[in-house]
C-alpha cells in the first residue's frame, strides 16, 4: 500500500470520528468503562498475588537438633541440610538464642529458665519452592540426630490450596472480564458500522477493494481504543497512588506488603493501552466483515 493511500486512511479515520460524534462518544464510553473495570481488577489481583507470594515465602521448616548431637554433629547436620536438593537457605539458632527470643516475645519471667535451658538448638530451613515444603520436610526428618521437624503440617497444605484456588479464580475472572469487554465493545462498534452501511455500499459499488474499505474502520477502532484507554489509565493511577499513600505506612515492617506504585502503574497502564487498541481493532475487523459483500 502506498504511503499516500495510508496517509489518506489515517486522515479519513480521524475525520470520521468527528463526523460520527455521538457514535464515537458511545464507543469510547464503552471502552472506558470496561477498561476501567479490567484495570482495577488487574491491580487487585496483582496485589493479592503479591500477598500470596509473601505468605508462601514466609513458610519455613523448623528443625530441632537432638540434645545428643555435639558441635561436630550439629555442623554435619547443617552441611547435609545446605546440600539437600530443594533447600534455599539454612539458618542456625542456638538454644540460648531461642530462649532470648522467647523472653522477648512472652516476658521477662521466662528468664528463670536461663540456668537450665530446656530448649533445642534449631535450624530454620526454607524450601526453594514453598509448594515443596512438605516434601523437603519429609527428607529432613530422615537425617540422623534430628529430634523433630515442624512446618505447620496440615495448615500449610490448606494455605497453599487456598492460595492456588484464589490465583486460579482470579485468572478466570480476569479472562471473563476481558471477553465481556471485547463483546461489549465489538457490539458498540458494530452499531457504529451498521449506521454507516450505506457509506460502505457506495465505496464497494465504485470499485473499492475490501481492504480499502476495511482499513479506515480498523484505524477508527484503534483510535477508539486509544481514546478509551486514556481515562482508565488516569483514574487507575490516581486511585492506586492514594491507596499506596494510605496503606503502605500502616503496613511498614509487616510481613504482607502491597506492590509499590512504580513500576506497577507503568505495567498496568501499558496493559490497558494495548488492550484498548487491540479490542478496538479486533472489534472493527470482526464487525465490518458482513458488510463487505454488496
Q: What is the pLDDT of residue 189?
A: 67
Average pLDDT, the chain: 82
Say what angle helices 261-288 and 210-247 make with each other, to 10 degrees: 160
- pLDDT of residue 141 exceeding 70, the answer is yes
Q: What is the pLDDT of residue 125?
A: 94
Q: Give the span between the Cα atoms of 175 and 169, in whole angstroms.
A: 10
The residues with which 90 forms a beta bridge, in sequence order, are 125
* This prediction's pTM: 0.71
Question: Cell 507470594, residue?
Answer: 53
Residue 113: pLDDT above 70? no
Going by C-alpha positions, the residue among 34, 31, 17 that lies closest to residue 192 is 17
Q: Provide the β-strand partners of residue 126.
A: 89
Burial 250-277 (b: 16+ CB within 10 A, else e): eeeeeeeebbebeebbeebbebbbebbb
- What distance lies between CA 8 and its chain's CA centroid? 41
pLDDT tens for each residue of 244-279: 988 888 877 666 778 888 899 999 999 999 988 888
Beta bridge partners of 64: 122, 148
| pLDDT digit string, tens, across residues 32-75 | 888 888 888 888 888 888 887 887 788 899 999 998 888 899 99
pLDDT at position 108 is 58
Amino acid at each position: 500500500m502506498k504511503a499516500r493511500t495510508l496517509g489518506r486512511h489515517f486522515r479519513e479515520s480521524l475525520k470520521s470520528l468527528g463526523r460520527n460524534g455521538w457514535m464515537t462518544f458511545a464507543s469510547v464510553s464503552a471502552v472506558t468503562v470496561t477498561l476501567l473495570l479490567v484495570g482495577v481488577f488487574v491491580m487487585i489481583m496483582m496485589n493479592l498475588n503479591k500477598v500470596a507470594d509473601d505468605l508462601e515465602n514466609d513458610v519455613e521448616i523448623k528443625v530441632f537438633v537432638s540434645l545428643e548431637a555435639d558441635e561436630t554433629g550439629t555442623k554435619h547436620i547443617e552441611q547435609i541440610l545446605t546440600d539437600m536438593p530443594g533447600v534455599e537457605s539454612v539458618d542456625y539458632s542456638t538454644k540460648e538464642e531461642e530462649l532470648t527470643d522467647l523472653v522477648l516475645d512472652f516476658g521477662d519471667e521466662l528468664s528463670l529458665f536461663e540456668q537450665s535451658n530446656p530448649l533445642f538448638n534449631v535450624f530454620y530451613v526454607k524450601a526453594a519452592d514453598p509448594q515443596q515444603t512438605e516434601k523437603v520436610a519429609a527428607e529432613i526428618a530422615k537425617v540422623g540426630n534430628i529430634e523433630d521437624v515442624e512446618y505447620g503440617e496440615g495448615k500449610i497444605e490448606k494455605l497453599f490450596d487456598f492460595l492456588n484456588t484464589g490465583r486460579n479464580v482470579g485468572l478466570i475472572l480476569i479472562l471473563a472480564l476481558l471477553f465481556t469487554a471485547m463483546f461489549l465493545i465489538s457490539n458498540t462498534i458494530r452499531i457504529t458500522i451498521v449506521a454507516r452501511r450505506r457509506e460502505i455500499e457506495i465505496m464497494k459499488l465504485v470499485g473499492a477493494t475490501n481492504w480499502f474499505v476495511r482499513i479506515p474502520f480498523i484505524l477508527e477502532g484503534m483510535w477508539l481504543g486509544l481514546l478509551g484507554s486514556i481515562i482508565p489509565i488516569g483514574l487507575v493511577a490516581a486511585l492506586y497512588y492514594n491507596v499506596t499513600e494510605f496503606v503502605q505506612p500502616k503496613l511498614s515492617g509487616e510481613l504482607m506488603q502491597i506492590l509499590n506504585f512504580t513500576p506497577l502503574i507503568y505495567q498496568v497502564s501499558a496493559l490497558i493501552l494495548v488492550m484498548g487498541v487491540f479490542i478496538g481493532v479486533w472489534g472493527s475487523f470482526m464487525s465490518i466483515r458482513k458488510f463487505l459483500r454488496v
